[in-house]
Amino acid sequence: MLVRQREEVQALPRRLRRDSTARLLPVALLCVALAGCGPDPPPDPRADDVSAARRDATARADDELERAVAALGATVVDRGSDDACYEGQNNWKVHDGYDHRCTVRRVAAVTFAGDFRERIDEFDKRLFAGGWGCTPSPCRETNAGLVEEYWPHRAAEYGGTDFPISSLPTTPPYEKDGLYLDLRYAGADRAGQAWVEGWHRRRRGSLFESFREPRPLDLDAVVRHARGSRYLVLLAVEADYYDH
């Protein structure tokens, strides 16, 4: 744009050229200033400080994931993860508040038997007692509350209580000290398999990634366990380890 404007100025008489050049100078200075105010470059995922932060975030996420599995009284059948750095959006419509962020997501596919509603109700109580809460807070809905609300509707829809639990809704992630806990009900049905296939993928942040190392769940192995178990549930904990 500036090149075209300079060519147009050169074609003007000398007096008009001086006036146009004076008007063009602030535009050029503004362009230079804006160029220097762009987003920072993405982080080097292999840098020592980023690697150390990743290890700490992964350890925190793993610890909380193990506590969640224990709180549910479930058996782990497979694990997965996602490690990604991505660019934030900051414009007139979306303001993420960061140029770049890195997040690790640790996931587990677990099974259990027994009374599903009682197990989820007890799970919620143990999570809240352990410091987890809703986002936003206070809770408008809880996972246990949604199970109680939707269970009779799904039973009526499918003609009995032996319906796919993947049809039950869950809440947005619970939050605790900068960690985020996801829950999803799955199974061997098509909808449940779709959740298993994509469960390792990060749920928060932008799509514009500068780095990613995914480790999906083993879909075939998890589905085999789902067919031989009463209930299959997916758990995940996300932790941010870089934010600038």
Residue 96 is predicted with a pLDDT of 83
Q: Averaged over 4-26, what is the pLDDT?
A: 47
pLDDT at res. 97: 86
Mean pLDDT of 192-218: 96
* pLDDT-wise least confident of 20-24, 146-150, 174-178, 232-236: 20-24
Tell me, yes or no, whether 164 and 239 share the same domain. yes
Give phi and psi for 163, each to the nearest 5. -105, 160
Q: What is the DSSP letter of 130?
A: T
The predicted pLDDT at position 30 comes to 42
Which domain covers residue 19, as residue numbers? 2-35
Confidence category of residue 113, pLDDT binned at 50, 70, 90: very high
Helices (H) and strands (E) counted in the chain, each on its own, are: 7, 6
pLDDT of 80 > 70? The answer is yes
- Based on the fold, state whether residues 24 and 127 are members of the same structural domain: no
Residue 62 inside a domain? The answer is yes
11 with 127, same domain: the answer is no
Q: Do 60 and 31 share a structural domain?
A: no
Res. 106: pLDDT tops 60:
yes
Position 21 scores a pLDDT of 44
Q: Any bridge partners for residue 212, and if so which?
A: 84
Residues 75 and 193 in one domain: yes
pLDDT score for 38: 62
**Dihedral angle at the C-alpha atoms of 56, 60, 65, 68, nearest 10 degrees?**
180
Q: How many CA atoms lie within 13 A of 237 on its CB side?
A: 22
Please check the confidence at residue 1 and state whether its pLDDT lies above 80. Answer: no
Percent of the chain with pLDDT over 90: 77
- DSSP β-ladder status, 209-215 and 179-186: unpaired
What are the tokens at 212?
Answer: 């990613």
Asked if the model's pLDDT at residue 177 lies above 90, the reply is yes
Three-state DSSP state, 49 = helix
| Mean per-residue pLDDT of the chain | 88
Q: Which stretch of 62-66, 94-98, 171-175 has the lowest confidence by average pLDDT? A: 94-98
Same domain, 11 and 96: no
Q: 185 — phi, psi (to 5°)?
A: -90, 130
Q: Kindly state the average pLDDT of the residues 17-46.
A: 57
Q: How many domains does the chain have?
A: 2
The pLDDT value given to residue 227 = 93
Residue 85 falls inside a structural domain? yes
Burial class (CB in 10 A: 0-12, 13-18, 19+), 3: exposed
Phi, psi of 115 (to 5 degrees): -85, 115
Q: Looking at the domain assignment, is residue 162 inside a domain?
A: yes
| Residue 144 lies inside a defined structural domain of this protein | yes
My answer on whether 11 and 129 are in the same domain is no
Please report whether residue 185 resides in a domain.
Answer: yes
Higher pLDDT pick, 10 / 116: 116
Asked if residue 8 has pLDDT above 60, the reply is no
83, 88, 138 from 101: Cα distances, Å: 11, 7, 27
Q: How far is it, in rounded angstroms, from Cα 28 to Cα 33? A: 9
Measured CA to CA, the distance from residue 161 to residue 202 in angstroms comes to: 32
Pair 86, 156 in one domain: yes
Residue 37: the pLDDT is: 55
Average pLDDT, integer, range 190-199: 97
CA 48 to chain centre: 24
Position 197, amino acid:
E
Q: What are phi and psi of 30, to 5 degrees?
A: -65, -40
Based on the fold, state whether residues 30 and 141 are members of the same structural domain. Answer: no
Residue 46 has pLDDT above 50, yes or no: yes
pLDDT of residue 67: 98
